[in-house]
Amino acid sequence: MIGFFLAFSALGIPVQQIGIILGALGVGIGFGLQTLVNNLVSGLIIAFEKPVNVDDVIEIGGRSGKVKSIGFRSSVIATAEGADLIMPNGDLLNAHVMNWSQGGAKKRLCIRLEVKYGVDLERVTQLLKKIMDEDEQTLSSGGTAVQFAQVTSQAVVVELYFWVRISKDGGSVKSGLLTKIYNAFADEGIDMALPIQQVILNQTNSETKVKPNH
């Protein structure tokens, strides 16, 4: 160590600056090792407690995907967009994780609709339940719920709750159901509510005063 300082002194570098540089390096290495150890310990906790397992479908930080692998330092999550999300085990363990695979291999989805005033709400409920009963992508277990959630100034808000398997793409299922709902409502003469736009015209005085030039 003394030879190290003497070598730098021979190059004209002050010993005080060498100490500052080494101190900064030590702090950086310390933080790096702390993060590494945290991730390694978190990996061991995940391996023993198993809050998530390989092939589990999870949702974390607003993003969903399937756990592809769990390593000592980090885990890989295959997202719905087709990308691999590499997450440090420390972040994975400390985050709020929703594990769909440990909840009975099914998930609950919701479709929100707005219908015009004056429609037969009982008929709306019957149509929605009929569509759900005949749809092969939804699950009968857990039941289907139709709720009239809100009455706005423009429409009656209807919420349709249903269950699908974890392996199903929620967006695709919703798209298929919305197509069936739209066609069924059109056949029954049930109108969906549309946003109302107000146009206000300001009328100005037709008389125009011209200020003379002096």
pTM for the model:
0.56
Q: What pLDDT was estimated at residue 76?
A: 93
Look up the CATH number of domain 1-102: 2.30.30.60
pLDDT tens digit string along 47-106? 888 888 898 888 888 788 889 999 888 999 998 788 899 999 988 888 888 887 776 678
User: Residue ranges per domain, the chain?
Assistant: 1-102, 106-188
> Does the pLDDT of residue 198 top 70, yes or no?
no
Give mean pLDDT, residues 182-206: 75
Radius of gyration of the CA atoms of the chain, in A = 31
Give the count of beta carbons closer than 10 Å to the beta carbon of residue 7. 11
Among 39-43, 75-79, 131-135, where is mean pLDDT lowest? 39-43
Tokens of 151: 């009455």
What is the Cα–Cα distance from 108 to 85, expressed in whole angstroms? 24
Long-range contacts of 177-184 (CB under 8 A, 24+ apart): 177/111, 177/131, 177/132, 177/135, 177/138, 178/111, 180/131, 180/135, 181/111, 181/113, 181/127, 181/128, 181/131, 184/127, 184/130, 184/131
At 107, the pLDDT band (50, 70, 90 cuts) reads: confident
Give mean pLDDT, residues 168-195: 88
Percent above pLDDT 70 for the chain? 74
| Selected residue with higher pLDDT from 183 and 192 | 183
Do the Cβ atoms of 147 and 158 come closer than 8 Å?
yes
* Alpha-carbon 116 to chain mean position: 30
pLDDT tens digit string along 145-172? 999 988 888 889 999 998 888 777 788 8
Among 22-31, 124-133, 146-155, 184-193, where is mean pLDDT lowest? 22-31
Token pair 């269950």 in the structure block, residue: 163
**Sheet (strand 57-60) strand order:** 84-88, 74-79, 63-70, 57-60, 97-99
Architecture of the domain whose range is 106-188: 2-Layer Sandwich (3.30)
* Topology agreement, domain 1-102 and domain 106-188: no
